[in-house]
């Protein structure tokens, strides 16, 4: 491709900024790296974070606060599994929850065998659980979620209202979702994002989901840019990207554009005026 003409302009109100995060280290990552067959074990059902994973969460939290990112995010979307919700509230949530604070806790103390104090929702963006951004579905018990009614007391301030079924009807024990199906689900998720008004959104999800969703992009870019988009995420890695609405899926009007000519006055540009004068002279 000709990289000398690769720059492109889009209206700001037809763009969203996404801060994509893979969950921190879970118990399944440790056991699965030792023996891949461990992913088939029900001992790893709805895998929670390891102590090392919580250290990764705390380090990413320091980064998003130091960079000012935590003040810019309008919405946090999380996959409804223990490891992603623990990561989401640990990175983007409030401080430690204490009695007397007039804010519902994002996470109860020791939620999901975390040995972690409760986390406050004070001064935080909304948190919403979304099924579309789950990991590969099927076969691996670590990717099967609990009933939503079990999650609600553990994560009281996360909004689960978009999840239609209390039990996990998407996961099956004998059929693993195909890579192309995960990619298609990822594109459906991105299309759904355009129904949201928020402009700067954090998404806490999974390695396989991110990899297959993002692999659909970057084919018209320099290879270095393609690799920045499409390589596998490390545990608790964050990448910020911009998505563009080229097909008018979104309906938001600009909040920064200004129409001008208020009050109304003559404002014909000089080059247009010259051509108009030339055309009149030739008549």
Q: Which of the residues are catalytic?
A: 23, 135
Q: Computed over its alpha carbons, how large is the radius of gyration of the chain? A: 23
DSSP string, 5-36: G------GGGEEEEEEEE---BHHHHHHHH-G
Dihedral (CA of 204, 210, 213, 216) sign: positive
Distance CA 45, CA 82 (A): 10
Is there a contact between 135 and 87 (Cβ–Cβ < 8 Å)? no
Distance CA 154, CA 149 (A): 9
């Amino acid at each position: 491709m000709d990289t000398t003409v690769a720059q492109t302009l889009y209206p700001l109100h037809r763009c969203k900024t996404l801060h994509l995060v893979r969950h921190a280290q879970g118990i399944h990552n440790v056991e699965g790296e030792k023996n891949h067959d461990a992913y088939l074990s029900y001992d790893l059902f709805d895998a929670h974070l390891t102590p090392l994973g919580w250290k990764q969460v705390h380090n990413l939290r320091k980064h998003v606060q130091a960079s000012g990112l935590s003040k810019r995010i309008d919405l946090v979307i999380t996959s409804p599994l223990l490891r992603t919700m623990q990561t989401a509230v640990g990175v983007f949530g409030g401080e430690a929850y204490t009695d007397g604070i007039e804010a519902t806790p994002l996470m109860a103390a020791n939620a999901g065998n975390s040995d972690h104090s409760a986390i406050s929702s004070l001064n935080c963006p909304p948190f919403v659980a979304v099924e579309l951004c789950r990991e590969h579905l099927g076969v691996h018990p670590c990717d099967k979620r609990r009933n939503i009614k079990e999650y609600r007391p553990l994560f009281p301030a996360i909004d689960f209202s978009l999840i239609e079924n209390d039990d996990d009807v998407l996961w099956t024990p004998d059929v693993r979702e195909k890579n192309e199906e995960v990619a298609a689900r990822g594109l459906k998720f991105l299309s759904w994002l355009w129904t949201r008004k928020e402009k700067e959104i954090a998404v806490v999800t999974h390695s396989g989901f991110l990899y297959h969703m993002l692999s659909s992009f970057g084919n018209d870019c320099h290879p270095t840019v393609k690799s920045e988009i499409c390589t596998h995420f490390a545990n608790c890695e964050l990448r910020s990207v911009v998505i563009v609405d080229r097909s008018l899926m979104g309906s938001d009007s600009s909040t920064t554009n200004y129409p001008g000519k208020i009050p109304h006055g003559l404002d014909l540009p000089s080059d247009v005026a010259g051509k108009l004068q030339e055309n009149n002279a030739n008549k």
